[in-house]
């Protein structure tokens, strides 16, 4: 096989694996994933999280979920899209993951008695719920979608994904079997084009997008931005010049977490 392609795919895999959170993370505690939780008047909507590629719910939101629970939210951290290895999520086709995610939201709504949820997503989890909102009736069940570094217009992975397009058959053979969603998330994929066709947001849903200019996995930074009537796009460095917050850090950094909690308040 062409050595360039081998290097491209190796770098892509390394980047994606670095982006993943620990697959063996223990189920979150401290009031998280408690189906006996009842929303309060102060926080009437449960928060359901959506993790990143090769991640899992408890690990990806190890910092955010307990914090929200301590503030009185009912918080749920599912792991979706485990198409290859149990505990390693987000690898199934995004459409399948969205169906699974929607079923989980139905379970949360039934258990808590809430009318709607708020969703907090990171990386792939910042775009997968958009399919649910647009195509699976999710807009009637979600009030606010907060997304950290979502590849809303596809990622170039700092140019690696663009180079891999030069070898589409081999890329599909090597990557597609292990990670069905990977090629869906690159710039100009059929999935990205279809998702954004006809408008990027859904009526009745609020959107907050939080990004960092020092994220080198979801690139360029502007790929995350949404256009719509009820959208707020936040660039961390606009208010915190010079700060370094990488792709993984967005789910754990106090600055980005502060934006999440402020958006949900």
**pLDDT at 84 (0 to 100):** 85
Residues 201, 231 contacting (CB under 8 angstroms): yes
What's the pTM value of the predicted model, to 2 decimals?
Answer: 0.87
Please give the class, per CATH, of domain 3-18+46-264: alpha beta
- Residues 24-48: what's their mean pLDDT? 81
- Residues 205-213: what's their mean pLDDT? 99
DSSP secondary-structure letter at 224? Answer: G
Q: What is the pLDDT of residues 134-169, one digit of tens each?
A: 999 999 999 999 999 999 999 987 544 554 554 566
DSSP secondary-structure letter at 165? Answer: T
**Which pair of structure tokens corresponds to residue 118?**
């708020």
Residues 56, 29 contacting (CB under 8 angstroms): no
d(CA 17, CA 183): 15
State the helix-helix crossing angle for 94-112 and 128-135, rounded to 10 degrees. 70
**pLDDT at 26 (0 to 100):** 38
Q: Where are the domains of the chain?
A: 3-18+46-264
**Which pair of structure tokens corresponds to residue 177?**
């079997």
Residues 48, 56 contacting (CB under 8 angstroms): no
**pLDDT at 50 (0 to 100):** 99
- Residues 233-237: what's their mean pLDDT? 99
Read off the pLDDT band of 31 (50, 70, 90): confident
User: In the chain, what percentage of residues exceed pLDDT 70?
Assistant: 81
Residues 8, 164 contacting (CB under 8 angstroms): yes
- Residues 93-97: what's their mean pLDDT? 98
């Amino acid at each position: 096989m062409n050595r360039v392609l081998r290097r491209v795919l190796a770098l892509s895999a390394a980047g994606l694996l670095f982006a993943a959170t620990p697959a063996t993370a223990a189920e979150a505690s401290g009031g998280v994933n408690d189906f006996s939780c009842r929303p309060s008047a102060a926080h009437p909507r449960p928060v359901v999280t959506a993790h990143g590629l090769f991640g899992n719910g408890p690990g990806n939101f190890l910092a955010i979920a307990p914090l929200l629970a301590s503030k009185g939210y009912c918080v749920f951290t599912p792991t979706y899209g485990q198409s290859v290895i149990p505990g390693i999520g987000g690898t199934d086709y995004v459409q399948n993951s969205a169906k699974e995610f929607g079923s989980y939201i139905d379970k949360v709504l039934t258990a808590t008695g809430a009318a709607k949820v708020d969703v907090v997503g990171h990386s792939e989890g910042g775009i997968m719920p958009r399919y649910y909102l647009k195509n699976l009736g999710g807009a009637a069940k979600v009030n606010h979608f907060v997304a950290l570094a979502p590849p809303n217009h596809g990622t170039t992975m700092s140019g690696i994904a663009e180079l891999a397009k030069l070898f589409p058959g081999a890329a599909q053979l090597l990557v597609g079997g292990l990670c069905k969603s990977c090629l869906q998330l690159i710039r100009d994929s059929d999935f990205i084009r279809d998702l954004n066709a006809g408008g990027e947001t859904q009526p009745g849903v609020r959107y907050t997008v939080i990004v960092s200019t020092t994220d080198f996995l979801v690139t360029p930074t502007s790929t995350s931005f949404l256009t719509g009537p009820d959208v707020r796009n936040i660039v961390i460095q606009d208010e915190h010049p010079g700060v370094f917050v990488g792709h993984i850090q967005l789910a754990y950094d106090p600055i980005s977490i502060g934006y999440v909690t402020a958006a949900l308040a």
